[in-house]
Structure 1
Amino acid sequence: MDSTGIWNWIREEAARVAVDEPHLRSLLEDVVLRQPCLGASLGVRLARKLAREDMTREELGPLLAGILRGEDQLVESVAHDLRAIVERDPACRSPLEPLLFFKGFMAISTYRISHFLWQRGRRELALYFQSLASEVFGVDIHPAARIGCGILLDHATSFVVGETAIIEDNVSILHEVTLGGTGKDSGDRHPIVRSGVLLGAGAKILGRVEIGEGAKVGAGSVVLNDVSPHSTVAGVPAVVVGVSREDAPALEMDQRLGCRGR
């Protein structure tokens, strides 16, 4: 389902909820029902959430609209994130819910704005959006980090990503995960997370280590070395405890650490 399909689903749900829950009608009309597309809707939602004395909604709204207008790739990434949440989070019934209520989705969307600005040399404004996401959502992602699409950032609180980190497509990440460095080293010093990886709550991955495709990192683990594709690691420090049951643990969201076939 592309951004148009996701947007049509969001509008249908918004129209239904506006009837069923009139106390939310004003919010739904502003964020969804009066908007022409997903990009415009996201711009309004983020403007409402991020507005501060430093930059009011009246300033943020046009800025975000200008960034999102015509940026098809950015909006498609947002659509893939929404689809990932609906498909992987059993608590989510439609893409309207993360758009309105899930701070993990809003945090990763704010990162996408800051990364867009960073790539175009607007460093200070990119860092401003990073600081806003940290303050409002409790999520700190450096705008230079490279993050793919289809990302489920579940619960999100205390998620930290360093400047040179790379996260590929279709990765699922729970709260309190850190993709950090190991000190004052310069250059490429943060982790690489390949596609299909599941990072359990509280996992700390430190240094320029690579988490191979389809690997799984258990909750509370501290990873200091590379993890082979489709391996399951756990512990402090993390060691291999098995082989992932699934080809892409991120899609199944199975937190158990058992081996394939058990």
Structure 2
Amino acid sequence: MTTTLTLDIGTIQLFIDDASPSGAPRVALARFGKADQRVLARHASADRLAPELFGALFASAAGLKAPKPGLANDPATGLWWLTSLPTGMPDLSRRFNIEKIPPAAKQAAFATVAAWITSRRQFPAMLAWDEWINNRDRGIQNLLIDGDDCAPADHQQAFDCHDEDYTDVNKLAQLVNATLAPAAQMQIKRGAVRATMTFSADWPRMVQDALTALPIKLGKPAALRQWLQSRHPEIAQRIENRISGGQTNLAL
């Protein structure tokens, strides 16, 4: 089955909320075609916009549930904003009210969240996909609830575009190691390795083609495609190395 990868391209009509701290999403009204839509808009520098858009489309190519990205220009400033439709789906941190839980109860709360995440249908494939894109920042704040499953969001600290202080870690594999019994760890590992067998080395090219047609020149799509295609043969072995069959300290 061929997946068509598209982005909504539009124009910011007005910002509904007050200016947010640098990098924080803003609520805006954007026009896509003839329709005005309320969106979450986040401005990013060109070097951050490329991996974010590439990651969002790459998730769609992989068949993962993920927010559909858009791109809207603000005529007042000439800046481009990354947009997504408000889904009403909270991230896991808000869904489980992690910030409101007393410190003494947070370990038990994290165990509850971990049990929910690791039991989702999409989890093994998402773990394998995060290994492919080298996502080093998959915290519960950038996993969204989508019905009875979870969806990845925020890909700026992925590919070879992560900041230097982000260590080489797959946080979903780390979660498996920290919270599951050895037999359950092996089950997740087998599921993740099976998922890699469905991953196509042609997906990065599909994403590059989609981004090349945009009205903004990103500069990185070709380099990201090449980087992903070179990493493709290594994914299964990387997963084998990530999931240990033992116990480590939980770090989300």
Shorter-chain TM-score range: under 0.3
TM-score normalised per structure 1: 0.27
Structure with more contact order per residue of length (Cα contacts < 8 Å, sep ≥ 6): 2
TM-score normalised per structure 2: 0.27
